[in-house]
Each structure stands twice: as structure tokens, then as C-alpha cells.
């Protein structure tokens, strides 16, 4: 049996909330089934990897009746992700998850691995903030999602943001290649 290399990384799951991912929701992301499957794959890897820690970020919409308003049915982290008691949740009300100082304190100086929703909004704002903070940033290139708009498909928007983050200095890694994350982050 091969042993995994220790990977000290803070895995940040951004806005993987019920309203964004369950069938029948008005704000459901395109390809949400695939996104959930990839997120589950990343979480299984992280929970088995020595040195990896997982947290969840939850968007709290201040508008009463909104899909992500606190305590609304769509607000909670998706049950299918199997959030564990030791995996904290950090609330935010803007795109950048690092707007919550508790997240920054939890991450410390560790590299971060990002996945979640929405590629062009909260994942982008969080990746951009992490890079600005001087953190090493990796994004799971096939584990973030969005919706089609402005004449672009969700896949085009995802590809555009993967390129943007790579060009800004983030490492892109697929959910199938996470065992190589430690070496990718040290390059």
C-alpha cells in the first residue's frame, strides 16, 4: 500500500449551498450534479490526506426571502457533502470569503485549495483575495461552477476564470490529480 505525501493545505469549499445545487432551485448552477460529484471527490481526498484541513464558506444573503437568506431551506451547506463536526463553517455576505477575519485566522499561512460556487463571483473574489494576501493558491479546475449568461456558456465562464487564476499565479489542479498537489504547490 502506498503512502500519501503530507499535504498541508486549507481546503475551502465556497458556497456549496442547497439552493445552488439542488434540482428545482431557481438559482441552481449549470452542471450541478457534476460539481457535487467533483466536490465529493475533493473532500474524500482531503479527509484522507495527512495535513489537509477542510472548511466551508456559506453566503448569508441579507435580503429577506432570498434563496441564500439565513435559515431559508436553500441556505445550508449541501448535505451530500457530508460536512463533519470538525470542519468549520465561515459566514460571509460579500463575494470574498476572506472578508470574514475568522477564515483568515483559520487558514493562517497555509496554502489554500479552492472549489465551489460561483466561479465568476465568490470563488473568483476569494481566489483574488487569497493571492493578494500572499497565500499560495490552488483551484480545483473542474470543481467550481456557475450559470450561463451574457452569451457565454457556464463552461466558457469556468475556462475563462481558470485561465485568469493561472495567469495571476494560482495553481490549477483537477480533482483527479490531487495526489500531486504538494509538488505543484512547491514549484
Q: Say if residue 3's pLDDT is above 80.
A: no
Residue of 14, 117, 122, 147 with catalytic role: 122
Q: Say if residue 106's pLDDT is above 50.
A: yes
Backbone torsions φ then ψ of 110, nearest 5 degrees: -65, 150
**So what's the pLDDT on residue 171?**
97
Q: Say if residue 88's pLDDT is above 80.
A: yes
Q: Say if residue 187's pLDDT is above 80.
A: no
Helix runs in the chain, H state only: 18-21, 32-48, 101-107, 124-132, 154-168, 181-186
Distance CA 152, CA 161 (A): 12
List, in order of start, the domains of the chain with CATH numbers: 9-186 (3.40.50.850)
* Cell output for 105: 485566522
Residue 146 · residue 154 · CB < 8 Å: yes
Distance CA 65, CA 42 (A): 32
Model confidence pLDDT, tens digit, residues 14-62: 999 999 998 888 789 999 999 999 999 999 999 999 889 999 999 999 8
Whether residue 55 lies in the annotated active site:
no
Residue 85 · residue 45 · CB < 8 Å: no
CA-closest candidate to residue 176, choices 13, 6, 37? 37
Model confidence pLDDT, tens digit, residues 120-164: 999 999 999 999 999 999 999 999 999 999 999 999 999 999 999
**So what's the pLDDT on residue 5?**
54
CA-closest candidate to residue 17, choices 61, 52, 65, 47? 61
Mean pLDDT value across residues 72-98: 96
CA-closest candidate to residue 140, choices 158, 120, 167, 122? 158
Residue 107: pLDDT band (50, 70, 90) is very high
Q: Say if residue 4's pLDDT is above 60.
A: no
**So what's the pLDDT on residue 75?**
95
Exposure pattern of 52-67 as b/e (b: 16+ CB <10 Å)? bbbbbbbbebeeeebb
Residue 1: pLDDT band (50, 70, 90) is very low
**So what's the pLDDT on residue 136?**
97
**So what's the pLDDT on residue 6?**
64
Amino acid at each position: 500500500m502506498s503512502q500519501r505525501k503530507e499535504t498541508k493545505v486549507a481546503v475551502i469549499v465556497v458556497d456549496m449551498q442547497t439552493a445552488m445545487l439542488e434540482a428545482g432551485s431557481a438559482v441552481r448552477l449549470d452542471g450541478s450534479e457534476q460539481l457535487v460529484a467533483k466536490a465529493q471527490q475533493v473532500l474524500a481526498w482531503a479527509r484522507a490526506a495527512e495535513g489537509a484541513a477542510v472548511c466551508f464558506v456559506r453566503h448569508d444573503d441579507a435580503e429577506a426571502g432570498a434563496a441564500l437568506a439565513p435559515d431559508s431551506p436553500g441556505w445550508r451547506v449541501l448535505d451530500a457533502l457530508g460536512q463533519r463536526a470538525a470542519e468549520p463553517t465561515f459566514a460571509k455576505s460579500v463575494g470574498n470569503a476572506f472578508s470574514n477575519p475568522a477564515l483568515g485566522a483559520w487558514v493562517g499561512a497555509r496554502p489554500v485549495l479552492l472549489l465551489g460556487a460561483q466561479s465568476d463571483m465568490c470563488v473568483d473574489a476569494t481566489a483574488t483575495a487569497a493571492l493578494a494576501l500572499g497565500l499560495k493558491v490552488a483551484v480545483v479546475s473542474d470543481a467550481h461552477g456557475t450559470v450561463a449568461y451574457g452569451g457565454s456558456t457556464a463552461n466558457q465562464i469556468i475556462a475563462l476564470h481558470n485561465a485568469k487564476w493561472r495567469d495571476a499565479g494560482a495553481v490549477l489542479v483537477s480533482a483527479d490529480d490531487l495526489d500531486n498537489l504538494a509538488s505543484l504547490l512547491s514549484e
